[in-house]
Amino acid sequence: MVVASMAPGSNSRGRVLPGIPVIDLSLDRSLISQLIVKTCEEFGFFKVINHRVEPSVSAQLEAAGVEFFNLPAAEKQRAGPPNPLGYGCRSIGLNGDIGDVEYLLLPADSSSISNRARIICRKDPNKFSCAVKDYVEAIKELANEILELIEEGLGLGGSGELCKLIRESGSDSLLRLNHYPSNCNRNSNSNNRKKDNDIKSKTWSKRKGRKSSRIGFGEHTDPQILTLLRSNGIEGLQILAPASGVLGSRMAWVAVPPDPTAVFINVGDTLQMTNGRLVSVRHRAMTNYYKSRMSMIYFAAPDLHAWITPLPGMITADNPQRYKSFTWAEYKTAMYSLKLGQNRLDHFKIDTKEGAAQVRNQNSLEGNHE
């Protein structure tokens, strides 16, 4: 059964990074913008506190998610199979990736939410629709605020280059609700079933005297511009980061202590329009042996036809263009052709010499206009 939020705190069994980066939005704006950019350069991940997403709005969506995931399987399956939107269970993507997760993937535009709600929650579609719309509106505002701060931290002023990508009416942004059943419940429900060999993670064995976890959602980066995540206070999120918290040290899976009052931010692949200055973070989700976990994830994405190209000032002689320009639709096509953990950006890399030549050509063109 899905549980509601718990108080902040964690006794995570994984390695814990000495101080997950925390951004307090109540601080001075110029300081915040610099801190965010520095954190995105080093980790691609941070925790936001003192944001303006009202707890009641988050609680409303969480309650709607709890109600849906506690429905009988047959009722949930009416909202699927995912194409890619809709209800899915265990299968992730189109290329055979499996996880111990069930999910709802929803569009973030108002009219589509209303249409989907009629299938997802036949008992009270209007209540479900309102919960999703209210949350999307609040979390989208936070996404815009973060992108504005990133622009300022990069020295782009009020250019709006990043924000306009997710503000356009055709934005491909999505909302995803993930439910990770507890291993204990999963085990008790499958005692009389054939042993499941799909997930090759450590399952019911004891490790160092403690129950081990399953992989709920495997290692990956998010393809969009920015990801904003909130969970119900159960541990499970892990990021790949320097084990000691110092850049250049060995990379390791680091447990992120849960905090249902905060919002966690992931840099997405598409922010490589900073020409690699900001890095997308590799992360995964583990299940909890005793308690189920639910997360609510907003993926801020551009229009399918949006042209993703390096931002002004990001290409220099010392840092030539690293990635080919592409449309969001082209990047999604590449994403769907690959396994979950594969590096999609590798398919758009530019040879260093080619990138340097492009810088020289650009400088030459600019000189001719002077």
- Residue count of the chain: 370
Cα Dmax for the chain: 78
Structure confidence at residue 108 as a pLDDT band (50, 70, 90): very high
Print the SS3 string covering 162-230: CHHHHHCCCECCEEEEEEECCHHHHHHHCCCCCCCCCCCCCCCCEECCEECCCEEEEEECCCCCEEEEE
Cα separation values, 363 from 155, 312, 314, 316, 368, Å: 20, 13, 13, 9, 9
Question: What would the mean pLDDT of 334-345 be, rounded to a whole number?
Answer: 94
Q: Of the residues 186, 282, 293, 344, which is catalytic? A: 293
Q: Is pTM, for the whole model, over 0.75?
A: yes
pLDDT the model gives residue 16: 43
Phi, psi of 112 (to 5 degrees): -65, -35
Residue 13: CB atoms within 10 Å: 17
Share of the chain above pLDDT 70, in %: 81
For the stretch 55-89, pLDDT in tens is 999 999 999 999 999 999 999 999 999 988 999 99
Is it the case that residue 355 has pLDDT exceeding 80? no
Domain boundaries of the chain, sorted by first residue: 15-188+198-304
Q: Are 86 and 177 in contact (CB under 8 A)?
A: no
Whether 293 sits among the annotated catalytic residues: the reply is yes
pLDDT one-digit tens code per residue, 210-245: 456 789 999 999 999 999 999 999 999 999 988 766
3-state secondary structure of 339: coil
- How confident is residue 209, by pLDDT bands cut at 50, 70 and 90? very low
Q: What is the pLDDT of residue 174?
A: 98
Q: Residue 195: is its pLDDT beyond 80?
A: no
Instruction: Count CB atoms within 10 A of the CB of residue 206.
Output: 9
pLDDT of residue 246: 63
> Read out DSSP for 258-275?
--TTSEEEEE-GGGGGGT
Q: Which of 11-25, 189-203, 291-305: highest mean pLDDT? A: 291-305
The CATH number for 15-188+198-304, chosen from 2.40.50.140, 3.40.50.720, 3.40.50.970, 2.60.120.330, is: 2.60.120.330
